[in-house]
Structure 1
Amino acid sequence: MSAHAAPTKRLTLGDLAAKKAAGERLVMVTAYDFPSAQIVEDAGVDLVLVGDSAAMTVLGYDSTVPVTVDEMLMLTKAVRRGLDRPLLVGDLPFGSYEASDAEAIETARRFVKEAGVDLVKIERGGTTVDRARALVSAGIPVVGHVGLTPQTATALGGYRAQGRTAEAALAVIDDALALQAAGVSLLVVEAVPSEVTAALMPLLDIPVIGIGAGADADGQVLVFHDLLGLYPGSAAKFVKRYADLRSAAVAGVEAYADEVREGVYPAPEHGYGMPEAEARRLGELLAERWDIDSRK
């Protein structure tokens, strides 16, 4: 539980279903550490995803593929400590669930037991549908992910929109329906044409979270660092930047560096003092111990 607020009721999957039924939009944001978790908590989001995008956003890898289970667990535990109300979703990293149902269940159980996630997320349809079914049967709530799936972006032709032909769109829809039939609680649809999402929504009963998938989904997710402008350069087409924190952060550090070099910081008000009598007594003790006066 975060220290910034009184305890609040944690959302449940039933709450998400009720919001969907009432037409209330769901808000999901990624977070990767304790401070960002506290920020999104205070902002009132519904779901927090510790995505394997952490591989690139906070760990400096060039893709999501290298990140390990232990690295993801470390980040997810930190986020859990910063959250009260939102549901927490943990991304199972590449190579930690594909080989077998038993591997998927063991990895997912670690995220539930060690990091306290409410749901785990896995990517793609195909054999992943079997893994989803096994996880659900083991009592672990699952978030499915279709469309652009970063863990297999190379096989999909890179980080580009999926489902842009009628046949490809049908494949995305088939994957989504198969995951729903397998019992997933939630679905993320990434980087597909808006028309595909619009066609998909009447076919699904579970909440759908879009990212680069148009406005018809039940909710949206963005990466914390993207929406706050913490990285230089251009972002994906679907990203809207709601702040420019990188520029503010660079300016702040530059101002600090300038003041240190100019001898302006720290000023007297940034330090601690001793009572005058104690300072005088310290001088006397130093003089007695090291014969300071004789060194002048």
Structure 2
Amino acid sequence: MAGYLSSDTRKVTTHRLIEMKQRGEKISMLTSYDYTTAQIVDGAGVDVILVGDSASNVMAGNVTTLPMTLDQMIYHGCSVMRGVKRALVVVDMPFGYYQAAPYDGVQNAIRMMKETGADALKLEGGEEIIETIRRIIGAGVPVMGHLGLMPQSINKYGTYAVRAKDDAEAEKLVNDARLLEEAGCFAVVLEKIPAVLAERVAKELTIPVIGIGAGGGVDGQVLVVADMLGMSKGFSPRFLRRYADLHTIMTDAIGQYVTDVKSGDFPNEQEQY
């Protein structure tokens, strides 16, 4: 199957994402954490690549995203940028590097942009960090917001259940989304909230709204690449569609390699110098 790049090789920008929303074109977004995967994801035509702090779970095996450091996110961001030609690359700012004070947030955001060469950063939170977001954007750094279930705040929630089901939390989310747009964010991610609420936000905002577990009424979708490719087995939320079963494919292939090595079948005469 030919990739989307076959008909459109222009670099995706924050402005192009807003144009996509205006003409009703859905936005595709996936995570990547390394050069090889980023090349494949970009070549397949994904519009936005998120270098997520979910690398903490997928790459490092941590239970939460909280242990990720600025240096680690910069490393992953640099690796992805080397493999991307078309997609807009957004890097997550990790927990603890922007919540304390606006000055710290701006300094760390500038460092991430300079050292990764990324196109934009993503920050979790609304009103509580809005001044930091304003200052980061004021410094020339594009910011994507993130509301709803915010993994960096998981210890505050105590659960990964659907957020904003009650009226008070729903209204706060809508207000936070408006604040993010007014502050200058070019897009917002909504994670694991009722589909009706997500659709309402997408209709009220002029900037794109990307959903994960937020229904189909938003402007685009994002998934963790290891989840949608079926590399992980234990994680099966309702919103996840698996497009492949790489866990089985890779296990079978590696098992066959082990068998061939132990039997002396690999390498054969054609695989030697």
**TM-score range normalised by the length of the shorter chain:** over 0.9
* Distance (whole Å) between structure 2 residues aligned to residue 194 and residue 157 of structure 1: 22
Give the match for residue 102 of structure 1.
Answer: 103
Matches within 5 A, 1:83-232: 83-232=84-233
| CA distance, structure 2, for counterparts of residue 82 and residue 119 of structure 1 | 16
For structure 1, the 5+ residue unaligned runs are 273-296
Measured in 2, the distance between the counterparts of 1:175 and 1:156 equals 18
1:234 positional shift = 3.6
* 1:251 is the counterpart of 2:256: no
Aligned to 1:28: 29
- Partner-residue secondary structure (3-state), 1:231: coil
CA distance in 2, matches of 1:64, 1:206: 27
Identity of aligned residues (%): 39
**Equivalent residues in 2 for 1:61-100, closer than 5 Å:** 61-100=62-101
Taking the aligned partners of 1:141 and 1:14, their CA distance within structure 2 comes to: 11
Tell me the amino acid that sits aligned with residue 139 of structure 1.
Answer: G
Partners of 1:144 and 1:245 in 2: how far apart? 31
Q: How far apart in 2 are the matches of 1:245 and 1:166?
A: 41
SS of corresponding position for 1:189 = strand
CA contact under 8 A between 2:56 and 2:65: conserved in structure 1? yes
Partner of 1:55: 56
Structure 2: tracts of 5 or more residues without a match: 1-5
The amino acid across from 1:217 in the alignment is: V
How far residue 202 of structure 1 moved from its aligned partner, in angstroms, is: 2.1
Write the letter of the residue equivalent to 1:268: E
SS at match of 2:236: coil
- Cα distance, 1:192 vs structure 2: 0.1
Asked whether the 8 Å contact 2:147–2:177 carries over to 1, the reply is yes
Q: Which residue pairs with 2:272 in the alignment?
A: 271
> Number of paired residues?
267
Structure 2 counterpart SS, 1:154: helix
**Structure number with bigger Rg:** 1
Deviation of the 1:125 alpha carbon: 1.1
Tell me, in whole angstroms, the C-alpha distance in 2 between the residues paired with 1:208 and 1:96.
Answer: 24
Per-residue deviation, 1:215? 0.4
Which stretches of structure 1, 4 residues or longer, exceed 3 Å deviation after superposition?
none
Q: For 2:172 and 2:229, how far apart are their aligned partners in 1?
A: 33
Measure the CA separation in 2 of the matches of 1:27 and 1:234. 21
Report the Cα distance in structure 2 between the residues aligned to 1:259 and 1:139, rounded to whole angstroms. Answer: 55
**Residue 157 (structure 1) shift:** 2.8
How much does 1:106 deviate?
1.1
Q: Which amino acid aligns with 2:106?
A: I
Q: Deviations over 1:48-85 (max 9, x none)?
A: 00000000100111210001010111011000000000
Tell me the SS of whatever aligns to 1:15: helix
The CA distance in 2 between the partners of 1:233 and 1:135, in whole Å, is 37
Superposition deviation, residue 126 in structure 1: 2.6
Query: RMSD between aligned alpha carbons?
Result: 1.4
* Distance (whole Å) between structure 2 residues aligned to residue 241 and residue 185 of structure 1: 29
- Whether contact under 8 Å (2:261, 2:267) holds in the other structure is yes
Find the residue that maps to 1:153 and give its secondary structure.
helix
CA contact (8 A) 2:202 2:208 kept: no
